[in-house]
Amino acid sequence: MALMDKAFRVRMCAVFEFETGTDRIVCELMYFDQGTILRQLGVG
């Protein structure tokens, strides 16, 4: 896909997994609706 000079807005959810007993993040998962982004960019 070619680069576009377009902006988009999408809601996201981030889920973090922490090492037991610490504040060290060991995993981060990002969830969002890719279809929303594609529609706003005019390619979906």
- What is the extent of the structural domain holding 15? 1-44
- First-to-last CA distance in the chain? 12
Whole-model pTM: value is: 0.66
pLDDT at 23: 96
Beta-carbon contacts of 24 under 8 Å, excluding residues fewer than 6 positions away, are 18
pLDDT at 3: 72
pLDDT at 5: 85
pLDDT at 2: 73
Structural domains counted in the chain: 1
1-44 pLDDT per residue, tens = 677 788 899 999 999 999 999 999 999 999 999 999 999 988 87
